[in-house]
A and B are shown apart, each in its own frame.
Chain A
Amino acid sequence: MASLVGSRVERKEDKRFLTGKGKYTADINIANQTYAVFVRSPHARAKIQKIDLSRALRASGVVSILTGDEIAKDKIGGLIAGWAIRSEDGTEMKIPANPPLAKEHANFVGEPIVVVIAESLDEAKAAAELVSVDYKVLKGVVNTAEAMNGETIHEGIDKNLCFDWLLGDRKAVEQAFAKADKIIKVDLINNRLVPNAMEPRACVTDYNTASEEITLYTTSQNPHLSRLIMSAFGGVAPENKLRVVAPDVGGGFGSKINVYNEEIVCSWASKKIERPIKWVAERTESFLTDTHGRDHVTHAELAVTNDGKFLGFKNETIANLGAYARVFGTVTPTYLFGPCATGVYVIPAAYTNVKAVYTNTAPVDAYRGAGRPEATYTIERLVEKAAMELGIDKTELRMRNFPKQFPFKQTLVHTVDSGDYGAGLEKAKKMSDYDGFQARRKKSEASGKLRGIGVSSYFEACGIAPSAAVMSLGCGVGLWESAEVRFNPTGQISVYTGSHSHGQGHDTTFAQIAADELGVAMENIDVVHGDTNKGTFGMGTYGSRSLTVGGVAIVNACRKIIAKGKKVAAKMLEVSENEIDFKNGEFVALKSNKKKTIGEIAFALYLPGSRDSDFKSQLPEGMEPGLIETAFFDPANFSFPAGTHICEVEIDPETGEVKVEKYTAVDDFGRIVNPNIVEGQVHGGIAQGIGQALYENAQYDETGQLITASYMDYTMPRADNFPEFNLGFTCTLATTNPLGVKGCGEAGAIASPPAVMNAVIDALGGQEITMPATAEKVWRACKSLKKSNYKAA
């Protein structure tokens, strides 16, 4: 049987998605359900003085209206930060209370204050407009760089500082800098982004008065983790009385990791009113309250010698957490950022210092790449600037500083098991016709345009993560993954995974893996996920972990199935176990060549006797019937995909418009299970990265109003903003998992922003510009180019 791993199998899930047969949370309706609408703070920072519900309570169709007082009375806990980060001085991070319904203070525009539950959505909306909240408006803290000088947002948290964290050795860095010929410096802003999943957040909650169980249907990337948090920290219900179902989910990008206010409130309220409740976010609510991404202000320096050797690196960053620290809010700008800050280079001394601040803006959390795009943007901007200042070709400078051997022990945290960064760069140069760039530049100039080329070589640490390692760094949970493989008596297989697919194509890739392991047709395998009542507990999907951690758990469970099957086959074929070989779905007795298919073995395990046999079981003595195996996989290390992306842009200096002319991506994801799906992941990541570089920007005004809270003002990139992506792959197998795979979900978004910005800056003759490089910004930069009579080199 040909191997399915590595082949372009069409996505099994697409039939249901493309024919409208998907089932999303908003598609779920339960008899007798009510509808929730949230009254949200219109102010960035305000004291809640009085809430008057009297008019709203009299409105038509109102079932119940609940506030922060009631939720506090019922001792329902707030939202949590999942990682405890310690400051450089040894003190623990400062975390404010984050109640599901704000009681005394509102700290960002959109924060929920009151929930109105009514018989219909229209009635709930109408009643919500009658809720009167008396606010004392306070001066908000909005600007990231200025946050430490603003008024204290949360009582007892001085300078609005959550932590002041250090990774690395300041002294070693100072010594390295003292030896440098040149110090390259950059000041960067990593712009704030709204994740914009196609499906807005939603939940449907259903309390069963007989079983006393709450069922929460929700838009989550990690239903098991949500249940754990809601049970252990929220106190909503014990785990055995709380079922969390995340059905089809239309994109997450990190924004659906968190348990949100609305899920907690509706679950709790459903029990209180003993009726189902449905809530679906409107797009404006998504803009205002989904966790945002990035928002760093960085000063970084690279110490180099005149012949282009990197000696030291320092990074001083202020990271905006928003109003509250959420699940991955504190780890994103620390352990997902700092360890990757030195990029794909040998840099003997390095440190990263991060000051994480609170502001009166939406909470900032993981967004596709989480920390690694920020790290890559910093180092790759520095390296490109170094190349310019040293007069060394940008690819040559990178080559000189790549590690020559693997495993590669980085200065900061990671030991990278495998890679070949030079091979990726060489391939990207060829595929992009790097050497032909000057000719293309001349051609652009002849028509009055500016042309630039930018390179971004990256690695990232994903496949999160070894449990002991992350727990030692402050993670509140282990990041293993589980799988259960169940044979039906008649031979079909259900594969349960604790990870969750919200667009990644697990139904297909996981079936490919299991089909190869078990030697059965893919059509006989169904992948099941997203329901805490089905299969084993799992940690969910984020950090490009599903295949490298969850996929391996599936492999291991399959191998346990085969091990059990072998014992049965040995008995049935009357040979010893070590005389049995398993191949292509068949157990073969080596000497006699007699065979039993895995289906026959499964059948025998469920029906271990027959009319013609005697009283003796077909199973080895003492063996339990049934064929179900479970595996938990805890990886030994992160997974380290890497590669080089090369971008070429053309600028019209009269309008400042930037056109991405060519985009080449060469990635090393180890073994590729399904090239179609991997290419799709890379495309999506690059699209979001180009979006960050050229278009997207979540902008608050000085009072803390989000002024880009709709698609009229927030620019999502569209297909006509992109050229055809030119994709290539190199392969060094991961050595830390049996599949040899590396994560691929975030790489595109990690590598692309610096590739694009380096190209824009190259076109502008080295003139620096902040993301997003909008047409007006670029036009202004072009104007100052003209003034200085700069001619692109």
Chain B
Amino acid sequence: MKTFNYHAPKDVNEASKLASVNSVFLAGGMTSIPSIKLGLASYKDVINIKHIKKLSGIKVAGKSLIIGSTTKHAEVASSKDVQKEIPSLAKLAGRIGDAQVRNRGTIGGSISNNDPSACYPSACMALNAIIHTNEREIEASNFFIGMFETALKKNEIVEAVEFQIPEKSNYQKHPNPASRYAIVGVYLAKYKDKVNVAVTGAKSCVYIDSDLSKKLSSNFSTSAIEGIKLDSSEMNSDIHASAEYRANLVMTYAKKAVEAC
């Protein structure tokens, strides 16, 4: 039997103190629970942070949209604030997994897990997000380190994600037909002086395609990126999609995203 100690702390400090090398924070449990069930992971302590009230909620503050870490996908998808300020983010949340996943899975859980095919990391990258933890503020570009790897320390808890509200943005996803994770997801955000094109699913970790971002920053039109040949050598190749196909999808969806803006 996979036994563990279950904790349901009421505040972040207490949760952080409980953490150890043999613990896991539980929010929606959309990855950790199946991992435990399948024997892929085992922990001494499971620390449920869902009861910490201040971690959940959505607010607009100036040019930022701030989403608490245990806010569920369904809440983001249906939030009037998100729909108004960053509609592409609401749409992204509304297409994660299925209804059951969206009613349990959280934004903090998703980015802390940093699945290479998850949708949210691309939003964080494109929307210049700042990840607020109980210890510090981390820029998205420093937060996502590698496959299932983030800058988080063992006892560090994501409290909120602060997105910079863009002029325009769009998210395009080519879902894996089986799992509905992103085979490729392209998040495009246009700011006054800069365009970010973030890509998930294509490589071992979410990234900003600097070439596409640069070209679109100087000329925001599909013609600006027409004919660009992406390097597919670092892209994933598996039974669902070859690297070459993924590279094509990144280009195709980058164009579609520009068209949609």
Contacts and interface: CB of A to CB of B under 8 A. Distances in A.
Interface string B1-36: 100000000000000000000000000000000000
Given A711-B179, A715-B177, A655 B240 contact: no
A126 B239 contact: no
B249 interface: yes
Contacts of B239: 699, 707-708, 713
Interface string A117-138: 0000011001000000000000
B183 to A, nearest CB: 9
Contacts of A699: 239
B259 to A, nearest CB: 12
B248 interface: yes
Contact of A655 (B179, B242, B252): B252
Contacts of A711: 178-179
B179 A779 contact: no
B249 A655 contact: yes
B178 A779 contact: no
Interface in A564-585: none
Contacts of B174: 655, 657, 775
Nearest to A721: B177
User: Most chain-A CB neighbours within 10 Å: which of B174, B176, B248?
Assistant: B248
A716 B252 contact: no
A134 to B, nearest CB: 22
B191 interface: no
Contact of B1 (A122, A656, A713, A779): A122
Contact of A126 (B1, B179, B252): B1
B177 A695 contact: yes
B240 A713 contact: yes
Contacts of A724: none
Interface string A674-714: 00000000000000000000010001000000011001111
Contacts of B241: 776
Interface in B205-261: 239-242, 245, 248-249, 252
Contacts of B242: 776
A713 B117 CA distance: 13
A713 B179 contact: yes
A712 B178 contact: yes
A389 interface: no
Contacts of A123: 1
Nearest to B252: A654
Interface size class of A (residues with CB under 8 A): 20 to 34
A77 B201 CA distance: 50
A716 B98 CA distance: 14
Contacts of A657: 174
B178 A716 contact: yes
Contact of A715 (B1, B178, B245, B248): B178
Interface string A588-627: 0000000000000000000000000000000000000000
A707 B240 CA distance: 11
Contacts of A776: 240-242, 245
B86 to A, nearest CB: 25
Contacts of A775: 174, 177
Which DSSP category, helix, strand, loop or mixed, fits chain A's interface? loop
Given A654-B252, A707-B239, A713-B239, A779 B245 contact: yes
Contacts of B248: 654-655, 779
Nearest to A126: B1
A655 B248 CA distance: 8
A714 B176 CA distance: 10
Interface string A363-378: 0000000000000000
B178 A713 contact: yes
A721 to B, nearest CB: 8
Interface string A231-263: 000000000000000000000000000000000
A734 B249 CA distance: 52
Given A655-B252, A776-B242, A712 B1 contact: no
Contacts of B177: 695, 715, 774-775
A713 B183 CA distance: 12
Nearest to B178: A715
Interface string A642-672: 0000000000001111000000000000000
A122 B37 CA distance: 11
A714 B1 contact: no
A123 B1 CA distance: 7
Contacts of A122: 1
A192 B177 CA distance: 18
Interface in B146-169: none
B197 to A, nearest CB: 17
A123 B248 CA distance: 50
A715 B240 CA distance: 10
Nearest to A120: B1
Interface string B186-200: 000000000000000
Contacts of B179: 711-713
Contacts of B1: 122-123, 126
A655 B252 CA distance: 7
Nearest to B248: A779
A708 B1 CA distance: 27
Nearest to B183: A775
Contacts of B176: 712
Nearest to B184: A655
Interface string A712-751: 1111100000000000000000000000000000000000
Contacts of A774: 177, 240
Interface in A16-36: none
Contacts of B249: 655
Interface string A305-323: 0000000000000000000
A779 B245 CA distance: 8
Contacts of A707: 239
Contacts of A126: 1
Contacts of B245: 656, 776, 779-780
Interface in B69-116: none
A692 B252 CA distance: 27
Nearest to A657: B174
Nearest to A779: B245
Interface string A287-305: 0000000000000000000
A40 to B, nearest CB: 15
B42 to A, nearest CB: 12
A767 B150 CA distance: 46
A775 B183 CA distance: 11
A712 B238 CA distance: 13
Interface string B28-70: 0000000000000000000000000000000000000000000
B252 A714 contact: no
Nearest to B246: A776
B170 to A, nearest CB: 16
Contacts of A779: 245, 248
Contacts of A708: 178, 239
Nearest to B181: A712
A126 B242 CA distance: 38
Nearest to A772: B177
A263 B112 CA distance: 44
Nearest to A717: B177
Nearest to B2: A122
Nearest to A708: B239
B40 to A, nearest CB: 12
Contacts of B252: 654-655
A657 B184 CA distance: 14
Nearest to B38: A284
Given A655-B249, A776-B240, A776-B242, 7 more contacts: A655-B252, A656-B245, A708-B178, A708-B239, A711-B179, A713-B179, A775-B177
24 contacts: A123-B1, A654-B248, A654-B252, A655-B174, A655-B248, A656-B245, A699-B239, A708-B178, A711-B178, A711-B179, A712-B176, A712-B178, A713-B178, A713-B239, A714-B178, A774-B177, A775-B174, A775-B177, A776-B240, A776-B241, A776-B242, A776-B245, A779-B248, A780-B245
Would you list the 3 A-B pairs with minimal beta carbon distance, nearest first?
A: A122-B1, A715-B178, A715-B177
